[in-house]
Amino acid sequence: MKQKEMVEVIEERFKTLEKLSHKILKAFDADDIHDFRVEIKKLRAFLRLLDISDESEKPLIPKLLKSFYGYIGIIRNIQLQTHNIYAYITQHKIDKPVEYLTLLNKEKSYWEK
C-alpha cells in the first residue's frame, strides 16, 4: 500500500469520526456512540497493520480523541446498564429500583458534561 493510499484511508476515518462526534455531542444516541467506538477500533487496527518500526514516526491517536473515546465508553456502559435493568424489570414484573436508576442518570449526566 502506498503512502498516499494510507493517508487517504486515515483521513476518511477521521472525517467519519468527526461527523459522529458532532452527532454524539448533540444527542448522546447509543447507536452513534457505538458507531464512533467501532470506527476508533478500525482506525487503531489499521494503524497497527502499518507497523512502523521507528517509534518517532509511529502514528498516534491524539490524546483528546482517546479521552473522548473513554468518556463516551462510560456513557455507553451506563446506557447498557439502564437498558438491561429495564429489560429485567419487564421480564420479571418487579418494581423499579428508583434510587439506582436515579444514581445512573446522575452519573450519565456527569459524564455528558
**48 contacts 78 by C-beta, under 8 angstroms:** no
Residues above pLDDT 90, as percent of the chain: 75
Rounded to an integer, what is the distance from CA 95 to the centroid of its chain? 31
Instruction: Note the pTM of the prediction, 2 decimals.
Output: 0.84
Q: Would you say 31 and 46 are in contact if contact means Cβ atoms under 8 Å apart?
A: no
Residue 63 CA to residue 68 CA, distance in Å, equals 9
Residues 6+ apart with CB under 8 A from 78: 104, 107, 108, 111
Task: Tell me the one-letter amino acid at 2.
Answer: K
Alpha helices (H) along 2-61: 3-27, 30-50
Q: What is the CA angle 90-93-97, rounded to 5?
A: 80
Arithmetic mean of pLDDT over the chain: 91
44-95 confidence digits (pLDDT tens)? 989 888 876 556 566 578 899 999 999 999 999 999 999 999 999 999 999 9
